[in-house]
């Protein structure tokens, strides 16, 4: 392999600051690509490349580590085209409204590069594309809690590598953190909160699975030991079971509700279930029947319609909403 190709491969191995890579690791990865050169040659290559590209060397302690400067422009071959740049701008706007800022750190160089590509376009129509598309949400916007970058790095790396990590975790409402050994299984983003699906210590049964919010981790440290995974665990199956909807009952229910026509309009296009049926009930309302999971999420959704919804079946859910309505009436009645 030519020295040019070797150096290009080395550039791809170097991470963005503050992460770094030493020459021994580069040597090992080059050998994996059937490239056998002396470590001194690697060091000379890096020193030469740093005169051309914004590479930085952390020489405060051995082994020295190399990184791309945190503010370096993305080195892009082939050049990002305008449509791809526009897609990155769209992605940035969407993710900023959906994820905590710390989780987007790794994508910032791509977002910056996409902005520069769009700024360099001479055609005014293409340049103004990002101003012609906006992303909105019907839910009440909330500010996402801050997550430590070190926590994100540990969790993501251990999840990808199938390793355990030790952690100090502060449960909601608790003042003191508790130490755990964590077996990471998956990541779920729900309403701008990132949850780690995991088991703890040496437990690896489905009943042992927990959900931990990343912003409640105080500290984390990677371990060399392989993580434990429950037999037949699949993240999607776990979610489909209603784990994040907070089941109230084990069996699905036959839901029947009356909704005012205007607020029911979206259910024609986005049904509650595959067996949903909508029929006209009277001049102002429709009757909706669907088989759904019996969850807390369902109740929050129904409560969001306020006075425009009437729960008819099942009987126990109707009684539950009758009692909720009575308590709300008591709170708002005139004194």
What's the whole-number mean pLDDT along residues 232-236? Answer: 90
**178 shares its domain with 235:** yes
Q: Is the pLDDT of residue 319 over 90?
A: yes
- Higher pLDDT among residues 205 and 129, named by residue: 205
Domain co-membership, 88 together with 62: no
Would 246 be classed as within a structural domain?
Answer: no
Asked whether residue 74 is domain-assigned, the answer is no
Shared domain for 165 and 190, answered yes or no, is yes
Is 128 a domain residue?
yes
Q: In what order do the strands lie in the sheet with 163-169?
A: 210-213, 193-200, 178-190, 163-169, 217-226
Look over the chain and give the mean of its residue pLDDT values, rounded to a whole number: 85
- Decide if 244 contacts 219 (C-beta within 8 A): no
Q: Are residues 287 and 324 in the same domain?
A: yes
Tokens of 131: 């101003």
The answer to whether residue 137 is domain-embedded is: no
- For residues 14 and 289, the model is more confident at 289
In this structure, are 174 and 226 located in the same domain? yes
What's residue 101's pLDDT? 63
Among 72, 74, 108, 76, CA closest to 91: 108
Stretch 122-137: mean pLDDT? 65
Instruction: Kindly report the pTM of this predicted structure.
Output: 0.64
| pLDDT category of residue 143 using cuts at 50, 70 and 90 | confident
Please tell me the predicted confidence (pLDDT) of residue 127: 59
| pLDDT class of 123 with cuts at 50, 70, 90 | low
The DSSP bridge pattern shows strands 193-200 and 65-68 to be unpaired
Please report, for the domain that includes residue 303, its CATH number.
3.30.70
Residue 22, phi then psi, degrees to nearest 5: -100, 170
Q: Is 157 exposed, middle or buried (0-12, 13-18, 19+ CB in 10 A)?
A: middle
Final residue belonging to a domain, choices 21, 38, 68? 68
With a pLDDT cut of 90, the percent of the chain lying above it is: 33
Do residues 21 and 65 lie in contact, with contact meaning Cβ atoms separated by under 8 Å? yes
On the question of pLDDT at 73 being above 90, the answer is no
| Domain extent at residue 15 | 3-68
20-71 confidence digits (pLDDT tens): 899 999 998 888 888 888 889 989 988 888 888 888 888 888 888 998 887 7
Residue 309, pLDDT > 70, answer yes
Same domain, 128 and 167: no
Say if 144 falls within a structural domain. no
Question: Based on the structure, what is the number of domains in the chain?
Answer: 4
Among 24, 46, 68, the domain boundary falls at 68
Domain of residue 27, CATH code: 1.10.10
236, 155: one domain = yes
pLDDT at 125: 58
Choice between 215 and 115, residue whose per-residue pLDDT is larger:
215
**Once rounded to an integer, what is the mean pLDDT over residues 205-232?**
90
Mean pLDDT, to the nearest integer, of 311-322?
94
Confidence at residue 299, expressed as pLDDT on a 0 to 100 scale: 93
160 and 226 share one domain: yes
What's the mean pLDDT in 2-16? 84
Q: Are residues 153 and 235 in the same domain?
A: yes
Between 2-6, 106-110, 119-123, the lowest mean confidence (pLDDT) is in: 119-123
Q: Are 70 and 16 in contact (CB under 8 A)?
A: yes
Per-residue pLDDT, 130: 63
Q: 35-45, pLDDT tens digit by residue?
A: 888 889 989 98
State residue 175's pLDDT score. Answer: 85
Residue 258's nearest CA partner among 223, 302, 295, 221 is 302
Q: Are 124 and 180 part of one and the same domain?
A: no
In a domain, 41, yes or no: yes
Compute the average pLDDT of residues 252-275.
Answer: 92
Q: Are residues 15 and 51 in the same domain?
A: yes
Same domain, 179 and 226: yes
Is residue 95 situated within a structural domain? Answer: yes
CB 135 within 8 A of CB 97: yes
Last residue of a domain, one of 41, 68, 95: 68
pLDDT value of position 126 = 59
Residue 47 lies in a domain: yes
Q: Please state whether beta strands 193-200 and 178-190 pair in parallel, antiparallel, or not at all (unpaired).
A: antiparallel
> Over the stretch 146-182, which tens digit does the pLDDT of each residue have?
888 889 889 988 998 899 999 999 998 888 999 999 9
């Amino acid at each position: 392999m030519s020295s040019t190709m070797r150096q290009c491969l080395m550039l791809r191995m170097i991470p963005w600051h503050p992460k770094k890579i030493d020459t021994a690791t580069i040597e090992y990865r080059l050998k994996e690509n059937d490239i056998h050169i002396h470590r001194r040659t690697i060091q000379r290559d890096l020193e030469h490349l740093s005169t051309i590209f914004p590479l930085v060397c952390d020489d405060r302690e051995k082994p020295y580590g190399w990184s791309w400067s945190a503010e370096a422009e993305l080195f892009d071959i082939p050049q990002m085209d305008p449509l791809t740049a526009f897609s990155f701008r769209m992605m940035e706007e969407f993710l900023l409204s959906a994820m905590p800022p710390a989780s987007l750190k790794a994508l910032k160089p791509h977002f910056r590069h996409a902005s520069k590509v769009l700024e360099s376009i001479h055609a005014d129509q293409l340049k103004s594309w990002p101003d012609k598309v906006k992303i909105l949400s019907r839910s009440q916007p909330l500010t996402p809690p801050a997550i430590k970058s070190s926590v994100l790095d540990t969790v993501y790396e251990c999840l990808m590598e199938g390793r355990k990590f030790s952690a100090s975790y502060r449960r909601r409402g608790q003042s003191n953190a508790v130490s755990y050994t964590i077996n990471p299984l998956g990541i779920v983003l729900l309403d701008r909160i990132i949850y780690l699906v995991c088991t703890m210590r040496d437990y690896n049964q489905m009943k042992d699975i927990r959900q931990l919010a990343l912003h409640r981790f105080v500290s984390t440290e990677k371990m060399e030991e392989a993580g434990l995974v429950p037999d037949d665990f699949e993240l999607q199956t776990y979610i489909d079971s209603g784990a994040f909807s907070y089941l109230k009952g084990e069996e699905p229910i036959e839901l029947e509700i009356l909704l005012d026509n205007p607020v029911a309009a979206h259910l024609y296009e986005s049904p509650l279930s595959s067996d949903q049926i909508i029929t006209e009930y009277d001049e102002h309302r429709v009757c909706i029947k669907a088989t759904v999971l019996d969850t807390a999420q369902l109740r929050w959704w129904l409560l969001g319609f306020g006075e425009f919804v009437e729960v008819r079946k099942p009987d126990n859910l109707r009684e539950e909403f009758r009692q909720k309505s009575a308590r709300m009436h008591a709170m708002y009645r005139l004194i």
